[in-house]
Each structure stands twice: as structure tokens, then as C-alpha cells.
């Protein structure tokens, strides 16, 4: 077996052993090359189950966490999905192979520009990446079937709850940035919201306003 095939097999094994069991999610993660979303010397480590640094002081999430969040979101091919926190674009790419349409937002211009280049190069045509403060959601395209937030807020942001369809699901980390955060799943029902706590996680904080780089 080639080194590449061996690394990929170990990658999938690590995902499964950490609870990513959904077949469609595993297939998407097998198909989409994480190294394409990581620049420079960290590309060698793309298939390790570890978060890695990206530009603007942010991180590409740990693959098993991407898998668990995607699985908890129960995406179908009819869904319009909103992601807050484009970062490298990896999570958006995984979502795009499961959903009808993905909107992804980041507050850093550079991250959005670089992610768009990767989406174009790899042919992910159903993703729209936008520079904006994601804590306000994307009112123009609301409501959404699914929303995923990949940065931690103290509580689920009100505008995001308001932009979730009835029957829709949102997955997000909540808690203070330097403390233990919980990954939660919020389901919108006819008369309110149901909350499930999934597991402890650690994400960079959701910061209001745009990044201040040129």
C-alpha cells in the first residue's frame, strides 16, 4: 500500500474510532483532500486528527470534530446550509457534498478569498463564501434548513436562531473561549427550540464585527 493510501486508511480509522459512523459523512471526508485547505509546511500533517493553524491566527478544526458536527447536523441533499466561520473552507467543502447549497461566512477577508480559490480549483460550485459578521447570520438567504457555527459564542446568537427553519437543526459550540465549551444541537420545533448537549469541545471565539486587516 502507498504511503498516501496508508495515511488515508488511518485517517478514516481515527474518524470511526472517535464516533464518526455516518456513511455519507465518511465518504465525503474520504473524498475531499484536507491538504488542499492547509498551506505551507503543515500540509504533511493534513491526515492527522488534529487542529492545525491557518492564516489570521485561526485554526482548521480537528477532522473528527468536523465529522461529528456534520453528522449531528443530519444534512440531506435538499438542504440549504449556513456555516459561520469559513476558516480554511474545509468544513464548507464537506457540507457542500451533502447539501444542495452552502453559504459560508467569515469575518476575515483573507480567509474568504483563499477559501474561494480552493472551492473554484476543486470545483465546489454550490458554495457561496462571504465576508461578513456571521453573528448576524445571513438575513437575505434565510431561513436555513441547517446552520453550523465553527466558533464559540457564550449563547446561541439570536439572529441565527431566528434564521433556522421549523424542523431545522443548528450545531454550535457554546461557552467562554478560554473555558470548556459544549457542542450543542438546537432543533427548532413548532413552538420553540430543543437543546441537546453533545460533547465538550474547544473552538476559537466568535468575535463580533469584521477582521481589521486590509
**Which sequence positions are flagged as catalytic?**
61
In the complex, minimum distance from the CB of residue 187 to ligand SAH, in angstroms, rounded to a whole number:
21
Nearest distance in Å: CB 147, ligand SAH: 12
Instruction: State in angstroms the smallest separation of the CB of 191 from ligand SAH.
Output: 29
Out of 15, 68, 99, 111, name the contact with ligand SAH by CB under 6 A.
111
> Which one of residues 15, 34, 47, 58 is an interface residue with ligand SAH (CB under 6 A)?
58
Smallest separation (angstroms) from ligand SAH to the CB of 134: 3
98 part of the interface to ligand SAH, by CB under 6 A = no
For 79-99, letters b (16+ CB in 10 Å) and e give bbbbbbbbbbbbbbbbbbbbb
Using CB under 6 A as the binding rule, whether residue 103 contacts ligand SAH is answered as no
Partner residues linked to 185 by β-bridges: 171, 196
Residues from 128 through 167 that contact ligand SAH (CB under 6 A):
133-135, 150-151
**Residue 71 touching ligand SAH (CB under 6 A):** no
Min dist CB 41 to ligand SAH, Å, is 17
Asked if residue 202 binds ligand SAH (CB under 6 A), the reply is no
- Residue of 29, 105, 170, 172 interacting with ligand SAH (CB under 6 A): 105
Is 118 near ligand SAH (CB under 6 A)? no
Q: DSSP for the chain?
A: --HHHHHHHHHHHHHHHTT---HHHHHHHHHS-GGGGS-GGGGGGTTSSS-EE-GGG-EEPPHHHHHHHHHHHT--TT-EEEEE--TTSHHHHHHHTTSSEEEEEES-HHHHHHHHHHHHHHT-TTEEEEES-GGG--GGG--EEEEEE-SBBSS--HHHHHTEEEEEEEEEEES-TTS-EEEEEEEEETTEEEEEEEEEE--PBP-SS-----
Tell me: does residue 69 bind ligand SAH (CB under 6 A).
Answer: no
Residues of the shown chain interacting with ligand SAH in the complex, contacts defined by CB under 6 A? 58-61, 84-85, 87-88, 90-91, 105-108, 111, 133-135, 150-151, 204, 206-208
Amino acid at each position: 500500500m502507498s504511503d498516501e493510501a496508508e495515511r488515508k486508511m488511518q485517517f478514516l480509522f481515527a474518524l470511526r474510532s472517535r464516533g464518526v459512523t455516518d456513511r455519507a459523512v465518511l465518504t465525503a471526508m474520504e473524498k475531499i483532500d484536507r491538504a488542499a485547505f492547509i498551506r505551507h509546511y503543515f500540509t504533511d500533517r493534513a491526515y492527522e486528527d488534529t487542529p492545525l493553524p491557518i492564516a489570521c491566527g485561526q485554526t482548521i478544526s480537528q477532522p473528527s470534530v468536523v465529522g461529528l458536527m456534520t453528522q449531528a447536523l443530519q444534512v440531506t441533499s435538499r438542504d440549504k446550509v449556513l456555516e459561520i466561520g469559513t476558516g480554511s473552507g474545509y468544513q464548507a467543502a464537506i457540507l457542500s457534498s451533502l447539501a444542495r447549497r452552502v453559504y459560508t461566512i467569515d469575518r476575515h477577508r483573507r480567509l474568504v478569498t483563499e477559501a474561494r480559490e480552493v472551492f473554484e480549483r476543486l470545483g465546489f460550485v454550490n458554495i457561496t463564501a462571504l465576508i461578513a459578521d456571521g453573528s448576524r447570520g445571513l438575513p437575505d438567504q434565510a431561513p436555513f434548513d441547517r446552520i453550523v457555527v465553527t466558533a464559540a459564542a457564550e449563547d446561541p446568537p439570536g439572529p441565527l436562531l431566528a434564521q433556522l427553519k421549523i424542523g431545522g437543526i443548528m450545531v454550535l459550540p457554546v461557552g467562554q473561549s478560554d473555558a470548556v465549551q459544549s457542542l450543542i444541537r438546537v432543533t427548532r420545533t413548532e413552538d420553540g427550540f430543543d437543546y441537546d448537549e453533545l460533547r465538550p469541545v474547544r473552538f476559537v471565539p466568535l468575535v463580533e464585527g469584521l477582521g481589521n486587516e486590509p
